[in-house]
Structure 1
């Protein structure tokens, strides 16, 4: 399947999840993440702020703040500038921005991406070899491609978003793992 077909199919499926089931799956993903060694040892975490039918990251953001971790979220001013990284201390520092996604307000402190210990990646579909199909704008691929150090990139997804394989282009960045409601998947050694 082409990326556009995968996006259409998976997004339709993701948007049709019953809210009670979604809450249970989100809780399971949250517990799997916060009990992982990657999360426990990370001091500075970059996460997407969940939007629409994405895995809920609000619990993760609150947990990181309450455990005195530095939590950073993306801000996009334009496609050309790409992702800028900002530290937040509470949800009060977020407002609707690009595409209606919650973003940090102007007074938040910008953070150097090379200070990150863990990146939580959004996306539409993934495979067990590190393949990722995003939303098509390549914001995360461009953001990660010029980092100075390796940082674990973990996708948060529902189990049905993990496919046998996804198409990858040469500029696509591979992820290191996936956390679903059913399992933690390491893609780094495949």
Structure 2
């Protein structure tokens, strides 16, 4: 496990330098392409309840246009909210992520940026909102689930052996923990046949297309993706192991 963490940190450091060299204009152009790609992308167009990360000002695909399109299309849009774990334990993370619903476009536009420049939910409004792990409340959060999660990441690649799309996050484990809880919730609701789709959004530079660019180290808790939408308009999908 120690060697895995070291490998992940080394790749994050390399990617930080790589992403720091990407111009603002390129990031905005690639973000526009991703947004346009999603508008005709079946997993997105058919999803009724989606989660979208709210982007940092640089270093990743900007999601403002995606959030606006999803709200204007009548989708239920959920965004990340970080809070103290209600199940304190030495074996569990101290802070975890839930997804809370945006009420409408006006609500989204009212969000204030946090210290990283990310639009953030006001904690005082969380209990008024529908959320994935909110429990029984007036918003029926206990029956709420997602169809699609659009995820950020630091780097992505394709496993040369399995063909799986692999993701390197920022190291906090928020998404992996959330996805496992979401799977458990679907099981409790008797909806095992309705898996949430996991798609990454990435600048072209974040996809390591060949071993010479590096590879994404993963452990048993890291979630493989159903696909990756890139800033050049390509959609990378998992492939079967042709040598098996």
Q: TM-score, normalised by structure 2?
A: 0.71
After superposition, residues 90-169 of structure 1 pair within 5 angstroms as 90=105, 91-97=108-114, 101-105=118-122, 106-108=124-126, 109-112=129-132, 115-128=145-158, 129-148=164-183, 149=186, 150-163=195-208, 164=210, 165-169=215-219
**Greater shift after overlay, 150-159 or 81-90?**
81-90
Would you identify which runs of 4 or more consecutive aligned residues in structure 1 move more than 4 Å?
A: 97-100
RMSD: 2.0
> Is 1:48 aligned to 2:78, yes or no?
no
Larger radius of gyration: 2
> In 1, Cα distance between the equivalents of 2:130 and 2:111?
14
* 1:68-114 CA-partner distances (Å, limit 9, x unpaired): 11110011123524011111123234223475532222325132265
Aligned residue-pair number = 190
Aligned with 1:82: secondary structure? strand
Gaps of at least 5 residues in structure 1 are none
How far the C-alpha of 1:189 sits from its partner, in A, is 4.9
> In 2, Cα distance between the equivalents of 1:66 and 1:2?
41
After superposition, residues 80-91 of structure 1 pair within 5 angstroms as 80-88=94-102, 89-90=104-105, 91=108
Match of 1:31 in 2: 36
Aligned with 1:147: secondary structure? helix
> Is 1:68 aligned to 2:74, yes or no?
yes
> Is 1:185 aligned to 2:217, yes or no?
no
- Indicate conservation of the 8 Å contact 1:176/1:188, yes or no: no
Check 1:37–1:77 CA distance in 2 against 1; reply closer, same or farther (3 A cut): same
- Indicate conservation of the 8 Å contact 1:123/1:133, yes or no: yes
**Greater shift after overlay, 134-143 or 101-110?**
101-110
How far the C-alpha of 1:46 sits from its partner, in A, is 0.3
Q: TM-score, normalised by structure 1?
A: 0.90
